[in-house]
Structures are given as C-alpha cells and as structure tokens.
Chains A and B, each alone.
Chain A
Amino acid sequence: MSIDAPQAASKRVQVVSGITVRLVGDSGDGMQLLGTQLTNTSALAGNDVATFPDFPAEIRAPRGTRAGVSGFQVQFASHEVHTPGDTLDTLVAMNPAALVTNLADLRAGGLIIVDEDSFEAKDLKLAALEKNPLDEETLTDKYRLAKVPITKLTRTAVHDLGLSPKEADRCRNFFAMGLVYWLYGRSMDTTMRFIASKFSKLPAVREANERALKAGWAFGETTELLDASYQVEPAKLAPGKYRNIMGNQALAWGLMAAAKLSDKDLFYGTYPITPASDILHELCRFKNFGVRTFQAEDEIAAVCSAIGAAYGGGMGVTCSSGPGIALKAEAMGLAVMLELPLIVIDVQRGGPSTGLPTKTEQADLLQVLYGRNGEAPIPVLAARSPGDCFDTAIEAWRIATRFMLPVVILSDGYIANGSEPWLIPDMNNIEKISIKHPGPRTEADPPFKPYSRDQLLSRPWAIPGTPGLMHRVGGLEKANGSGNVSYDAENHEMMVKLRAEKVANVASILPPQQVMGPKSGQLLVVSWGGTYGACHTAVQQAQSAGMSVAHCHLRHLNPFPANLGEILHSYEKVLVPELNLGQLRMLLRDKYLVNAMGLNKVKGKPFAVSELVSKIKEVCTASGNGRHA
C-alpha cells in the first residue's frame, strides 16, 4: 500500500493496492460520521474494508483538548483486509490536538491534511502546545503536509445560506470528506444521498453540507497542494451480493435471524452500557419482526427478565459489557440451575471496574467462564469479526436450545463498532433451529418429569399454558428427573457433574477445529475473538516469509473443539496473543498441559499486525536456533 511513487508535476492518478486513512478531530466534529461514510463509499466501490473507530468516553470532552480527540481509521484495499491497518498513509486532522496525538502512527512520507484555520494561538493552547506543530521543520521533512483553510473555505461555500457561524462550521467535516473523496477517486453519491436523507427536514443545512462536500472535492482538483490522486481497484472477494455491516448490527441481525429460524419471538432485556447499547438501538427498530426490547431498570433486571421470557417459551437474550455481566452473575447461575435456554452477550471493554468504556479488551473470558458461585459451567462463543457476529448469534441460540442452557457470546468494542463487507446470506439457505416443546398431558399419562434427559442430557422445555405439565423451577438443587427440590448429597454431586457433562456434550455437535497453514510445524498461533484479523494477517505474512507457522482461531472457548488438544500438540511451540494478561493461555495450559506462550497487550487498542509478525519471527528464530544448537 505504498504511495511513495515519484511525483509528477501535473495531476495524476496513481493506482495503489490499499490505503489506510485516519480521520481525527474533536469528539463533536463528526469524525465517526465521516469514517462511516468513507467506509460505505469504499465498500460500494468494491474494496475490502476494515475499520477502527476510536473515541473518548466523554460525549463532548473539552473542545480542542487532547482528551477530546475522536478518530476513525479505515483501511480499504483491492485485496482482502482483516485489520484497519497498522500505519497510516493519510492523516486528516481537524485541530492541533488531533494532529499531535496521532502523528506517531503516520508512516514516513505519509500525507497530512490539516485545517490550518484551527491552528490559532488559542487552539494551540487548548492542545497544550507551545509552538505551532505546522511550523516544525521535522514535520515537512518527514511527511507531506497539506495545509488547507478548511474552515474559511467552508464558510465561504455556505455564506449565503443564512446559517449561524457555528452551523456553518459544523459543515467542515463534509469539506474534509470531499477532499478525501477527490484524493481517492471516490464517488460522492452515497454521501450525497446520506446528507439528503439525514437533513431532509433542514433544507439549509442539507444544502450547506452538500456544498461543503462538493467544495472539498473541487478544492482537491484545483489546489497545488496535492499533485496526485489515488485509485484503489475493487477487491476480489467471493462472488455474491455484499453490504457493509458493523459488529453490533450483525449481532442484532443474527439474533433476529435465530429467532426466525427457530420460530420464536425475540425478547431482548438489557440496560444501556457502552459499547453494547447499539444492539438495543438496532433491535428496537424492528418491532414488526416480533422483537420485544425491554430496557430494564438495571443489569440484574435485564437478565432476569430474559430468563422470565425463556420460562414462558420465548427467545430470551440479555446483553451488556463487563461491569454489567458482573451484576448478572447470580442470575446466570440461576439459568444454569433452571436449565433454560438463554443468550448472554458480553461486548467487552477495558476493565476492571468502569475501566476504559470506549476502548477494546479481551479480559472478560475468565469472568464469563468462572464468574459465578458454585460449579456453574456455561458454553462460551466468541465472534471474530463484525460479520461473524451474525453467525455466532445463530450458533449460540442453536446450542442454547439444543442443550437447554445459557450460552455466552463474547464480542468486544473493536468488532462492535468496526465494520466490514458482509456477504449477504439468504435466510432460506440457513439451517432451521428445531425446537420441540412437550405437548399436553392428561391424568391418564405418567407424571411429567421436567428434569428428564435426552441422550445429550438436555431436558424438555415445557412452557406455561400447556395442560398437565405444571411444574416448578427454582434455584434450589433439583432431583434429577422430577425436578423437585432435593438436598440429597448423592443427587447434588450427580447433578453438578451432569450439568458439567451437558456443557461438555456441546463439543459433540461442533465441527472439528480448522487451522490455517501446515498441520504441524514450528509454531501455532492460537487466538480468539476480535484479534482474528490481526493474527490471520500476521500469520499469512510470516508464512509468506517462509516461516513454519499456522493459525488456529477459536470460536468456541467452552467447551473447546474435540480435536484442539491434538492440534496443539502438533507444533513445537504455541503462541497465544490476547488483549489481556493471558486468560486463554492459562486455560490451554491447564487443560492440555501445553507450554503455551503469551503475547499480551492491554492498551485499549487492537494488535498491530507488525507486533504479531515480529513476535512470530522472534519465536520462530529462537525455535530454529534451538533446533540447530
């Protein structure tokens, strides 16, 4: 993805394989909106795309300060991409704070576009800068700098529309957008449509934003600051119809699809929390799909309401992030005891406690596995990418209903807000989820046993309203079969083991775990969740460089796939990169007695591919030396 080619004097169009752009400004500057627009436009142009929105926890942090900087990074390419890119080709910065906090990620020779009107003394002061960074020689030595009077040009473009100066300045982001669109030969159509629909009730604002966008484009075409534009050809994705999808959206749609496939109505009980709330926002729009959303009074009520819905025969789902999952723990244990189907979604964020609400992390694995009193095993699945959230939701519901138990889905802030092209599935081609509720009984029938078992140890899902199946469930230990309260010692131990065995049985219906790369060799990289893209790309790069390395990405964290042990022992070394201090690594070492190493990072940011590649290289080299010593 190089744009380092020698520059000609006239405007040229250069074909490049991929571009990584980061748009940064104040949290109120509309950077997330710009990023989304650039992503959609690039996806529609046929590129593969991956995004990384990064914003502060405060809605409107103090304007112009470093704390208030909000960013959106997107990589679009003519080849497959699985990450938003390590280093930036272009940095668009709307103010000095945004520039200085992001500059380190720009590659040498990369392009900086700044709004030079926002580098006044007061702006520098807000960014805690003594000197104007635009005047630093090192800046122009190392990078290509385009100082654009974005504010002035935007104001000029919209001056006769009767907007207040503040309103006019709010169009700055579309000017910047227009300029970026010109730079990468992007069509303005999608964004024009977006503006028209978003501001349909505010004709002056609509007109102003349209003008700003066009003015930005025109500026690119005429300015001498930029001497070339770049073109990224469409990517060769699998054939089919695509759309762009975000992780939280895909989870919402996956839940709706699972409900449809199982002929159930979705009940979604939740409490607002970052970064999970967008699933609620998405689902509450779809009442005509039979979706019932319930914004509960707290996290506990949210999960309890979902269990109540499950007892009534509905598809009960609750969702939160780490702090909320902690509050739901007792009720999740009850769901284990009741043996009712339930989906619990944890969109992870930086912890512990309130932690880093808007930043990503993978540190809730042990919480969802073990964070309950007593022996309370629960199957855990983790989505690997925005689009994968859709399939994960369906699979979670398939497991929950087949085995009558709660299932956890792990997502994270990175995939929740990230987006990628999604091959649109056809609902008619997805396997149905078959659920059978036992039918009515009369007094002539033998008594109903709510805790009787099938061959995989699942119990019948008898729902209120069915004559003859009246039964009571509860948190006290159950006698197997009858489901009556039992304090019997032998029964308790048997039930504890039975619940564990039931969860272990889930592995019997899972497809065997696949690896990308050689079936044995020097190194196996094992990952889970949102680090998939970076690990996949890093392993591919290492393989291309001739290293003996394979990648094993786990969707199932509990139970593990049946063949995982065999896979782990087929490589000399096992590396487990995680955005935590080694949670999966601990589990693998415990269960498989494998000397797994970790690559661990807890900075609220995803892995850069380069970090992984250099670790893989280091391990492979050490391993190679070891062999030859």
Chain B
Amino acid sequence: MSTSLPVLTANDFASDQEIRWCPGCGDYSILQQMKKMLPSLGLPLEQIVFVSGIGCSSRFPYYMNTYGMHSIHGRAPAFATGLKITRPELKVFVITGDGDSLSIGGNHFMHLLRRNVNLTLVLFNNRIYGLTKGQYSPTSPEGQVTKSTPLGALDHPLNPIKLALGAEATFIARSIDVHVKHLTETLHRAALHQGTAVVEVYQNCNVFNDGAFNYAQDKTTRADTTIELEHGKPLIFGKNRDKGIRLNGLTPEVVDLSTGKYSHDDLLFHDETADPALVNILARMRHPQFPEPIGVFRSVEQPMYDVQVNQQVESAIANRGAGDLNKLFNSGDTWQVG
C-alpha cells in the first residue's frame, strides 16, 4: 500500500456499469451508503474486494469500482475465505441475500461465522426471492402468500441474527436500507471490526414484497417500532423516548417511562460483549410485540481464521526453516542405482 492515503469520494467507488435493479429497490440505498462509507476506511480502491453469491443483491460487485467476484449461489463465503487465506491484507466484503445466505448457502454462512474470517458480510434481507420473481424465502413470515405459496408459507422463518449468534459470530448488527445515517454508521463499524462482521439490512423489494418492512422504514413510525442499540446505554425508544425495555426474569417487557414507575435504572443496558444468551433475548424481540432492535447486537474480539492460518505458516517457517523440496525428496530411505 502506498504511504500517502488516497482521498477518495463516494463517486470514486462507482464502476462504469449501468445499475440494473428495479427502480425503487432498496438495494440502491445500500449501494449508496456503502459508497459513502468506504472513503472513511482510508483504503485505496485496489485493496478492496466485493464477493457476492447469486440474487438481486449479488449484482452489487459489478457496480463497484473495486475488485469483485460475482460467484455462485450461496457460496460467496467460501470464495471469500479462500481469498482471505491467500491475501489476508485485502479488505473483503461479502454481499448476500436471505435466500443466498440462509437457504442455499446456509452451511457456508454458519462456517464462515464460526471461523471468524476477517471480512464484512452484508445480508440484504427482503424476505422474498426477487431475481426468480417472487417465491417465498427462508425469512418470509409464516402464512405469507407468494408465487410459490398460494395458500401461505408453512415453514417457520429463520432469524438471521439468532443464526449468527448460534454460530458465535463476533460482530452482529442490523440496519435498514432507507435509514441512511444509521446504515452508514453500522456499515462503518462493521468494516472496522476485526473478524467476521454480519450486518443484516432490512431491504424493501418494491416489486415482489413491497412494504415488508414498512413498520421499520417509515420515518413517522420507526421511533416506536424499532429500538437503537447503543453500547452501555439503556434500551429506550419511542418518539418521545418515553418507553424502555426491562427484563422480567429472562423475559423482556416494554415499560412506560412517563408514569414514574420505572426509571432508566430499571432498564436493560445494552452490552455488545454480553453473553450470547442475553443477546438472544434482544434478537427474539420482533414487531409488533416489541420494537425491533437495530444497531450492533454483539461485538467481541476472537482469533481470526485467516490470520491464524498464516501465522501457522509463518511460525512453521520460523521453527523449521523454509522448506527445501530437494531435501524432502531425499529424506528417509533412499538407495542408489548404478
């Protein structure tokens, strides 16, 4: 890397390719916030790689003026893992969707997280298969009527945050496509995290699942339907910041702060380093019973697989010397003919 940091703008990250998402798609906003965030990392374009799977969101790399790979369905984490082991110094983003990451690629998603490869994964969750024109996805709610579920979806949906917790991801966050400030900040924190950072982004598919996240997107209601997690601070929400979340045993409950019965001290304080069991309680808070948490659920430091693989190589060389093939071939039992 050059010694002088490049001064880049969002536009420097735009490729010359025409963007082909449907007009009004939430992906545009995510792309824009990503471009706005990237200059803050201080990295030159060539140090960044976007790896994606298949689906609407996975066209993302084509629109970035960085290195990129549009791979195969569900497997982006595997490509990214091989890339990071080979080139740990690169900044790698994995762009994926709910079908890509949680259905066909569920296995790779889980193993990426448990290995804690040092990269940032952005999961565009629109609760629908968009590119194949409207079948239900693993995050579609029960009963949802789609092209492939005319009488309503039967399967219980996956909650990506809970799945990530189960795989002990070291950084887990959620944001919303049109909540631009929050999204930019969340992406920024994720990009700075050392280890696998998962960001679930609520993304509206205005063609096949329009309004799935209206409650969380709508500026007039989102103060009441979402709750911003802030490390070390009590869980407070509401337009007038007059509601909070307290724990009753292991059960969260919404309390009214305006009556004087409860004060901030009664509330649950968010701790990004808390035991996953506690974070799971937050992950289980769903609309409409609860405001849905957005922001960083968990951020802890753990050894990173790609770094460790390379450390093993380095220490093997330090301990045993760089390998010499001629020496290896001639080791052990040999014999001379002629």
User: Which of A237, A309, A466 gathers the greatest number of chain B CB atoms within 10 Å?
Assistant: A309
Q: Are A267 and B62 in contact (CB under 8 A)?
A: no
Q: Are A305 and B335 in contact (CB under 8 A)?
A: no
- In the bound complex, what is the Cα–Cα distance between A257 and B326 (angstroms)? 10
- In the bound complex, what is the Cα–Cα distance between A543 and B110 (angstroms)? 60
Give chain A's interface residue range (CB within 8 Å of chain B). Answer: 35 or more
Q: Does A470 contact B (CB under 8 A)?
A: yes
Q: Are A309 and B47 in contact (CB under 8 A)?
A: no
Q: Does A239 contact B (CB under 8 A)?
A: yes
Query: A242-B335, A470-B67 known; A301 and B75 CB under 8 Å?
Result: yes
Q: Chain B residues near A43: list those with CB within 8 A.
A: 333, 335
Q: Are B83 and A288 in contact (CB under 8 A)?
A: no
Q: Which of B70, B111, B325 contacts A301 (CB 8 A)?
A: B111
Interface residues of B in 88-105 (CB under 8 A from A): 89-90
Q: Does A446 contact B (CB under 8 A)?
A: no
Q: Chain A residues near B338: list those with CB within 8 A.
A: 237-240
Q: Does B322 contact A (CB under 8 A)?
A: yes
Query: A253-B328, A301-B75, A334-B72 known; A309 and B86 CB under 8 Å?
Result: yes
| Stretch touching chain A among B207-215, B274-282, B309-317 | B309-317
Q: Chain A residues near B335: list those with CB within 8 A.
A: 43-44, 46, 241-243
Q: Are B87 and A313 in contact (CB under 8 A)?
A: yes
Q: Are B333 and A40 in contact (CB under 8 A)?
A: yes
Q: Chain B residues near A520: list those with CB within 8 A.
A: none
Chain B positions 312 through 338: 1 when the CB is less than 8 Å from some CB of chain A, otherwise 0: 110011011111011011101111111
- In the bound complex, what is the Cα–Cα distance between A238 and B46 (angstroms)? 52
| Stretch touching chain B among A104-112, A273-281, A422-430, A552-560 | A422-430
Query: A267-B85, A297-B107, A314-B86 known; A475 and B71 CB under 8 Å?
Result: yes
Q: Are B333 and A44 in contact (CB under 8 A)?
A: yes
Q: Chain B residues near A469: list those with CB within 8 A.
A: 46
Q: Are A464 and B325 in contact (CB under 8 A)?
A: no
- In the bound complex, what is the Cα–Cα distance between A313 and B82 (angstroms)? 11
Q: Which of B77, B81, B89 contacts A465 (CB 8 A)?
A: B89
Q: Chain B residues near A240: list those with CB within 8 A.
A: 336-338
Q: Which of B87, B317, B319, B329 contacts A425 (CB 8 A)?
A: B329
Q: Are B79 and A464 in contact (CB under 8 A)?
A: no
Across the two chains, which residue of chain A brings its CB closest to B67?
A464
Minimum CB–CB distance for A439 against chain B, Å? 12
Q: Are A296 and B78 in contact (CB under 8 A)?
A: yes
Chain A positions 9 through 44: 1 when the CB is less than 8 Å from some CB of chain B, otherwise 0: 000000000000000000000000000000010011
Q: Chain A residues near B319: list those with CB within 8 A.
A: 288
Q: Does B15 contact A (CB under 8 A)?
A: yes
- In the bound complex, what is the Cα–Cα distance between A291 and B320 (angstroms)? 14
Q: Are B72 and A292 in contact (CB under 8 A)?
A: no
Q: Does A298 contact B (CB under 8 A)?
A: yes
Q: Does A133 contact B (CB under 8 A)?
A: no
Across the two chains, which residue of chain B brings its CB closest to A242?
B335
Q: Chain A residues near B321: list those with CB within 8 A.
A: 288
Q: Chain A residues near B80: list those with CB within 8 A.
A: 308
Q: Does B66 contact A (CB under 8 A)?
A: yes
Q: Which of B17, B70, B334 contacts A243 (CB 8 A)?
A: B334
Query: A424-B334, A484-B17 known; A253 and B78 CB under 8 Å?
Result: no
Q: How many residues of B contact A (CB 8 A)?
A: 62
Minimum CB–CB distance for A388 against chain B, Å? 15
Q: Are B313 and A237 in contact (CB under 8 A)?
A: no
Q: Does B134 contact A (CB under 8 A)?
A: no
Interface residues of A in 542-582 (CB under 8 A from B): none
Q: Are A465 and B46 in contact (CB under 8 A)?
A: yes
Q: Does A485 contact B (CB under 8 A)?
A: yes
Interface residues of A in 267-301 (CB under 8 A from B): 267, 269, 286-292, 294, 296-298, 300-301
Across the two chains, which residue of chain A brings its CB closest to B74?
A300
Q: Are B71 and A427 in contact (CB under 8 A)?
A: no
Q: Does B176 contact A (CB under 8 A)?
A: no
Q: Chain B residues near A300: list those with CB within 8 A.
A: 75, 78, 108
Q: Does A474 contact B (CB under 8 A)?
A: yes
- In the bound complex, what is the Cα–Cα distance between A466 and B66 (angstroms)? 11
Q: Are B79 and A46 in contact (CB under 8 A)?
A: no
Q: Are B334 and A242 in contact (CB under 8 A)?
A: yes
Q: Chain A residues near B46: list those with CB within 8 A.
A: 464-470
Q: Are B86 and A472 in contact (CB under 8 A)?
A: no
Chain B positions 186 through 202: 1 when the CB is less than 8 Å from some CB of chain A, otherwise 0: 00000000000000000
Q: Does A433 contact B (CB under 8 A)?
A: no
User: Which of A330, A465, A473 gathers the greatest number of chain B CB atoms within 10 Å?
Assistant: A465
Q: Does B65 contact A (CB under 8 A)?
A: yes
Interface residues of A in 296-323 (CB under 8 A from B): 296-298, 300-302, 304-314, 316
Chain A positions 39 through 65: 1 when the CB is less than 8 Å from some CB of chain B, otherwise 0: 010011010000000000000000000
User: Which of B17, B78, B108, B312 gathers the greatest number of chain A CB atoms within 10 Å?
Assistant: B78
Q: Chain B residues near A241: list those with CB within 8 A.
A: 330, 334-337
Query: A243-B332, A301-B107, A330-B72 known; A427 and B78 CB under 8 Å?
Result: no
Q: Chain B residues near A236: list those with CB within 8 A.
A: 337
Q: Are B333 and A472 in contact (CB under 8 A)?
A: no
Query: A292-B85, A300-B78 known; A472 and B316 CB under 8 Å?
Result: no
Q: Does B51 contact A (CB under 8 A)?
A: yes
Across the two chains, which residue of chain B brings its CB closest to A256?
B325
Minimum CB–CB distance for A309 against chain B, Å? 4
Q: Does A209 contact B (CB under 8 A)?
A: no
A-B interface, 3 closest residue pairs, ranked by CB to CB distance from nearest: A239-B338, A474-B70, A308-B82
17 contacts between A and B (CB under 8 A): A190-B333, A237-B338, A239-B337, A240-B338, A241-B337, A286-B328, A288-B319, A289-B325, A292-B86, A292-B310, A300-B78, A308-B83, A312-B90, A467-B45, A469-B46, A470-B45, A470-B67
Q: Told that A253-B329, A288-B322, A297-B110 touch, could you supply 10 new A-B pairs with CB distance under 8 A?
A: A234-B337, A286-B328, A288-B317, A301-B81, A308-B79, A311-B69, A312-B87, A465-B89, A471-B67, A472-B50
Binding site for A on B (CB under 8 A): 15, 17, 44-47, 49-51, 54, 61-62, 64-72, 75, 77-87, 89-90, 107-108, 110-111, 309-310, 312-313, 316-317, 319-323, 325-326, 328-330, 332-338
